[in-house]
Amino acid sequence: MPEFALIIVIVFAILLLILISSCVKIVPQAHAFIVERLGGYQGTWGVGIHLKMPLIDKIAKRVNLKEQVVDFPPQPVITKDNVTMKIDTVVFYQITDPKLYTYGVENPLVAIENLTATTLRNIIGDLELDETLTSREIINTKMRVTLDEATDPWGIKVTRVELKNIIPPAAIQDAMEKQMKAERERREAVTRAEGEKRAKVLSAEGEKESAILRAEAEKQSAILRAEAEKEKKIREAEGEAEAILKVQQAYADGIRMLKEAAPDDKVLKLKSLEAFEKAADGKATKILLPADLQGIASLATTFREVAGDK
């Protein structure tokens, strides 16, 4: 009997420990727990350790507070000019109030999807096809504002809305592709024309620069030739002047030496005769004879006699 009582106590202690451990709850980061007591809202648990009343309290919902993204399938929409297309959207949202999120709407994601589809149809219905294809940012902004206001009572904040794909009808896609091809060919033609124009301009500029360089080279060459000719003439003139100067210097030295030798009249007359001989060297057309030619002749005879005696 005592052993049976001990077993009962142990089992009771184990059950008590299990019950106590089940009442201890840990809420992780970026999460929140909605606690109900006897079916009514009791409170919202944040991050940390919490204890609940056994058998009375229960965790009704675990809420993720991180920003989440949901990709909705393509929705058919009609533009203002009666073009039917399909558009799929991507919605980024975050739960800001776990209590409103739990009790505000039955199925929040389905509600957001339906609200997104109706909002998209309303916005696209006021736009034509071309505006729809070129106004993504405007559509995204309008949808975000509308969805954020509509989901605020549900404790949800829509942070961003993006149009993922815009799929027009096949016929319009073909027409758009042809238009894009024509526009691309036009841009390529314009680019080629601009390239050819630029090439011609560069070629003309190159020819102009080449002509300028040739003219400049010819000018420099002419200047150098003129300077060389000038330098040649200057050197020739300097040479002639130096030669004349040397001749005059030699003549002056001869006169000085003759003066220093103190020659007599006979030597002077002989020198005059030598000068007369050079003057009559076949080049002179007129010969001026000195007045004392007879004396010079007699002097020459005397020199010949002296030379004969020797």
Classify 262 as helix, strand or coil.
coil
Q: Which residue has the higher pLDDT, 289 or 11?
A: 11
Among candidate residues 77, 85, 170, 67, the one with its CA nearest the CA of residue 122:
77
Angle between helical axes of 293-309 and 265-279 (0-180°, round to 10): 100
264-280 tens-digit pLDDT:
555 555 565 555 555 55
- Tell me what pLDDT residue 266 has: 56
> In this structure, how many other beta carbons lie within 10 angstroms of the beta carbon of residue 139?
22
70-100 tens-digit pLDDT:
999 998 999 888 888 999 999 999 999 999 9
Burial track 9-33 (b if 16+ CB lie within 10 A, e otherwise): eeeeeeeeeeeeeeeeeebeeebbb
- Does residue 299 have a pLDDT over 80? no
- The rounded Cα 90 to chain-centroid distance in angstroms is 36
- Tell me what pLDDT residue 211 has: 86
- Tell me what pLDDT residue 87 has: 92
Give the span between the Cα atoms of 266 and 288, in whole angstroms: 20
Q: Please provide the average confidence, as pLDDT, over all residues in the chain.
A: 81
164-219 tens-digit pLDDT:
888 888 887 787 788 888 888 888 898 888 888 888 888 888 888 888 888 888 88
CA separation, residue 152 to residues 1, 147, 254 (Å): 65, 8, 132
pTM score of the predicted model: 0.55
- Tell me what pLDDT residue 275 has: 55
- Tell me what pLDDT residue 283 has: 53
